[in-house]
Every structure is written in C-alpha cells, then in structure tokens.
Amino acid sequence: MNLKGRSFITLKDYTPEEIGYLLDLAADLKAKKKKGETGSSLKGKNIALIFEKPSTRTRCSFVVAAVDEGAHPEYLGKDDIQLGHKESVEDTARVLGRIFDGIEFRGFKHKTVEDLAKYAGVPVWNGLTDDYHPTQILADLLTMKEHFGYLKGLSFVYAGDGRNNMANSLMIGMSKMGVNFTILAPKCLWPKDELVTLCQGYAKESGSTVTLTENVEDVKGADTIYTDVWCSMGEEDKAAERVALLKPYQVNAALMEKTEKDTTIFMHCLPAVKGNEVTEDVFESEASVVFDEAENRMHTIKAVMVATLGE
C-alpha cells in the first residue's frame, strides 16, 4: 500500500485498510527491533519535531523511531522557533518544508497542524492537538490486537472526559476498525454531535456501534476499559469541578468487576493521576497494559514515518 507523501493529521483521513496496513507495518518493525534489527528507510532524512506542549512518550517515540531508521530528528521547543509569534504558521511551514523532509507537531490549536500540512509540502504528523491524538490511537489498536489477536467485534468503553482529544480520536479509530465503542461520561462532557454522527457512519460501515451513556452498568461485556486524565493540559483551573463531576466514573476494582469478564484489560494513554481517573490497584493490576501501550507509541510512530516518508 502506498502512503508516500501523506500527512497524518487525524484518522478521519485514513481508511480502515490503511490503518490496518500501518498496524501490520508497526508489528513487523517491532518484531525486527526485538531481534536487534533496525532499518535505513529514513537514511539521509531530516525531521523537525515541533513541541508547543511538553511530552514524554511522543517526543521519545519520534526521536528513537527516526534514529532507528537512519533519520536525524531536530527538536524545536516553543522558544526555539517563531511559530505563530513573529512569523505566521504558513511562512514557518514553507521555510521548514524547504529544510526538512518531514515535520511532527504537538501543540494546542488543531488549525496549526492543518496549516503546517497545507503549506509545508512535506509529510506532517500530528503528535497531539486540542482536538485529536491519532498516533496514540494507533498504539492503542496495536496493543489490543497483540492482546486479543483481533480487533473487529471487541467492546471498548472509554470512561471519563468524553469530549477531550483522546475520546474524539478513540471514537474515530474504534468505529473505523469495527470495535464497539462506548463513551461513559456525564452528559455535559459528551463529544460534539457532529463527530458522533460521523463516527456512527464509520461504525455502520464496519459493523460496529457507537454508544454514549451516563450509566456505569453499561460497562458490562467490555473487553477494554480506557481512561485519561480528568483535566487536560491547560485546563488545570477546572480541576476541582472535574473531580466532583467525574468521581462516579473512576476506573476502580468495582467498575472493572461490572464488565463480568475476567479478561477485560485496562488502558490509559498516560501520564495518569492515580486516585483520580484510576485507582492504584487497577493501574498496577494484571489487567493493566498501559506500558505495552506506551512502548507501542514508538513502533506505530515509526510505521507512520516509514510509510509516509521512507524509501
């Protein structure tokens, strides 16, 4: 499958077949790395890593993935370039596109990464924006596939802030890949109707479902329970209000038991605030695959770069 020259901004832009191809490629690259084999598909390439927001997994994954495949990654923090301050995003994009072969962006406004992709003339990869976090979803899908052996027909529950970038992106990815997707959240934190309708369309095509609920009993039958922090970066002032609102949706032993399955796994994109969205005992339990997910960020990001930029 040829994805050369494509940007990776949101999974809306990728077909289920293309997503499946990236997952297979990631699994292959992971197996090779475990044997000590790295590639040279990005040899001679220079990659710009733009970070408005700090990061552990995204930054480390892009750096190691790039180096493994022979590329040179250049980290550009918010104080290193003039992006959107003294120089417009469009002009910065056109400059960086002349110098670099690919650009990763992690920051706030989704429009920034869209504009970079529009003007740079090279592949641009979304490392997280306020609206979407597509590389995380690839890692989540790979982790589920490794654990269960398949994706289509699994039941997935996301508990917590149902309108953040993770909930949005999980709903897109799961509905496209035939996973039955449920958001368990107070109604005031449900995603936008427009996105729900779009994902219900994807689900119809893939033979799955998208459900929004406030009822914790609806986790029954879930293969995966997923959560994220209750306050995203930049929302710290809402902490007390969110804790009060979301406490009933905490992933704890009682909620895990409500699935009535002893095979249910717990997932989290990290970092976690233990004692808020998840209890320490669930986080550290046998059911938790959070560090498999964290590692899989690197393998899936490598697959995205190899597929869109590699020789």
31: number of Cβ within 10 Å: 11
- What mean pLDDT, rounded, does the chain reach? 97
Q: Give Cα separations from 175 to 19, 94, 125, 150 (angstroms).
A: 12, 35, 22, 14
Tell whether the model's pLDDT for residue 235 goes beyond 80: no
Structural domains in the chain, sorted by start: 11-133+297-309 (3.40.50.1370), 136-293 (3.40.50.1370)
Q: Is 270 annotated as a binding residue?
A: yes
**Is the CA virtual torsion 120, 121, 126, 130 positive or negative?**
positive
Q: Is 106 annotated as a binding residue?
A: yes
What one-character DSSP code corresponds to residue 245?
Answer: H
Q: Is 110 annotated as a binding residue?
A: no
Kindly calculate the radius of gyration of the chain based on its CA atoms and give it in whole angstroms: 19
What one-character DSSP code corresponds to residue 236?
Answer: G
Both tokens assigned to 41: 């598909």
Q: Which residues are catalytic?
A: 106, 133, 136, 228, 269, 297
Tell whether the model's pLDDT for residue 232 goes beyond 80: no
Tokens 């902490």 -> residue: 239
Three-state SS at 206: helix
Q: Is 155 annotated as a binding residue?
A: no
Statement: the pTM of the whole predicted model exceeds 0.75: yes
Start-to-end CA distance of the chain, whole Å, equals: 13
Interatomic CA distance for residues 240 and 236, integer angstroms: 9
**Residue-level pLDDT at 207:** 98
pLDDT class for 88, splitting at 50, 70, 90? very high
